[in-house]
Amino acid sequence: MAEKIDGKAFAQDLRDRVGKAVAQLTKDYDLVPGLAVVLVGEDPASQVYVRNKGKQTLEAGMHSFEHKLPVTTSETELLELIATLNADPDVHGILVQLPLPKQIDSHAVINAIDPNKDVDGFHLINVGRLSTGAAGLVPCTPLGCLMLLKDALGDLSGKNAVVVGRSNIVGKPMAALLLAESCTVTVAHSRTQNLEAVCREADILVAAVGRPEMVSGEWIKPGAVVIDVGINRVDGEAGKTRLVGDVDYSSAEKVAGAITPVPGGVGPMTIACLLRNTVQAACASRDINFDLD
C-alpha cells in the first residue's frame, strides 16, 4: 500500500516557517512583506481562493491588500491598478486571480506586472528565468509539487518523470523544474499516443489534466511516486458532490510507492508557496539574503 503524502501537514509546516521568517524580517529589517491580490468579477471558486489567500497572508504576519473589481472592468482600468501596485513600495507581491473576464487579455495583464513582484511566476521574464536556470519567482503549484517530491524521494536526478498536462500554470513549469533536478522528463497530453504505456514508465508521475480519476492503478509503475494536481468536483452519494483528483486513488494506492490524496495533497501547498514567494520577493526588493529553505 502506498504511503499517503500529507500535503496538508507539509503546507502547515511551510507556513510556520514563512511566519518565522516574516517575524525576523520585521524585527531585523523593519520589512513586512505585502501581498496584493486582485479579483475581477464574482466567480465563486475564485472568491474562495482569494479569501483563503488573504486569511493565510495575515496569519503569516504579512500585509494583505485585496482589490475586488466588478466583472465589467476594462483592461485599461486593470492595467492602471497594476501600475499603481508596481509603484507601491509596501506591495512586494502581486497576484491577479485567473481566469479573467473575456474583455481582458490575461497575457497583457500578467506581463504588465513587475517581474520582481510576480509571485505567480507567470510573467515571460520569470518563465525565461525558470527555463534557463536563473533565479526568479516560480509558479506556486509546481513548486509545491517539487517540495513534496523531494521530501518523498530526496535526490531526483536520473528519475524518469512523466508530467501529464501542458498548461502554462502547472504542466510546463513542472517539467522545467524536474529537468532542473536532472530528471528525464516527458510531457504527455491529450494527443499523446499510448498515454497509458508512457505513464507506466514513470518513477515520478504528475497528473495535471483536469479529468476526474483518469489515471488508474494499471497506468502506474509499481513503487512510483504519484502527484495528483487535479481538483475535480463530481456527483457523489445522496445528491452531494465530492472532490476527486485526476488519479483514481483507490486503485493507484495499491501500486504506487507514495501518492498525494485529494483533498489534502497538492492543494494546500499552493497558497503556502505563494506566501513563500512573497517573502522571497520582499527580501529581493531590499537585497536581503535570507535562506527560506
Tell me which residues are annotated as active site.
53, 97, 120
Which residue among 169, 214, 227, 275 contacts ligand GUN (CB under 6 A)? 169
According to the binding rule CB under 6 A, does residue 120 interact with ligand GUN? Answer: yes
Q: Which is nearer to ligand GUN, 123 or 221 (CB)?
A: 123
Q: How distant is the alpha carbon of residue 249 from its chain centre?
A: 21
Q: Which is nearer to ligand GUN, 120 or 228 (CB)?
A: 120
Number of residues that make up the chain: 293
Q: Which stretch binds ligand GUN (CB under 6 A): 25-33, 92-100, 126-134, 151-159?
A: 92-100
What are the strands, taking DSSP E only, across 82-224?
93-96, 160-164, 184-188, 204-207
CA distance linking residue 162 with residue 175, whole number of Å = 8
Count of residues that bind ligand GUN according to CB under 6 A:
8
Write down the least CB distance from residue 109 to ligand GUN, Å: 10
According to the binding rule CB under 6 A, does residue 97 interact with ligand GUN? Answer: yes
Supply φ then ψ for residue 215, to 5 degrees: -90, 115
Q: Which stretch binds ligand GUN (CB under 6 A): 89-97, 125-133, 244-252, 259-267?
A: 89-97
Convert 128-140 to b/e letters by CB count within 10 Å (16 or more is b).
Answer: ebbeeeeebbbbb
Q: Which is nearer to ligand GUN, 145 or 220 (CB)?
A: 145
Q: Is the dihedral of CA 157, 170, 134, 268 positive or negative?
A: negative
Write down the least CB distance from residue 288 to ligand GUN, Å: 25
Neighbours of 201 (CB within 10 A): 14
According to the binding rule CB under 6 A, does residue 208 interact with ligand GUN? Answer: no
CA distance linking residue 211 with residue 215, whole number of Å = 9
CA distance linking residue 186 with residue 199, whole number of Å = 9
Q: Which of residues 4-43 bind ligand GUN (CB under 6 A)?
A: none
According to the binding rule CB under 6 A, does residue 73 interact with ligand GUN? Answer: no
CA distance linking residue 218 with residue 126, whole number of Å = 37
According to the binding rule CB under 6 A, does residue 98 interact with ligand GUN? Answer: yes
Write down the least CB distance from residue 152 to ligand GUN, Å: 22
> Which DSSP letter does residue 247 get?
B
According to the binding rule CB under 6 A, does residue 69 interact with ligand GUN? Answer: no
Q: How distant is the alpha carbon of residue 275 from its chain centre?
A: 11
Task: Give the list of residues 6+ apart from residue 132 with CB closer than 8 angstroms, or none.
Answer: none
CA distance linking residue 86 with residue 142, whole number of Å = 25
* Residue nearest ligand GUN, Cβ-based: 98
Write down the least CB distance from residue 97 to ligand GUN, Å: 5
According to the binding rule CB under 6 A, does residue 140 interact with ligand GUN? Answer: yes
According to the binding rule CB under 6 A, does residue 273 interact with ligand GUN? Answer: no
According to the binding rule CB under 6 A, does residue 127 interact with ligand GUN? Answer: no
According to the binding rule CB under 6 A, does residue 181 interact with ligand GUN? Answer: no
What is the contact surface with ligand GUN in residues (CB under 6 A)?
Answer: 95-98, 120, 140-141, 169
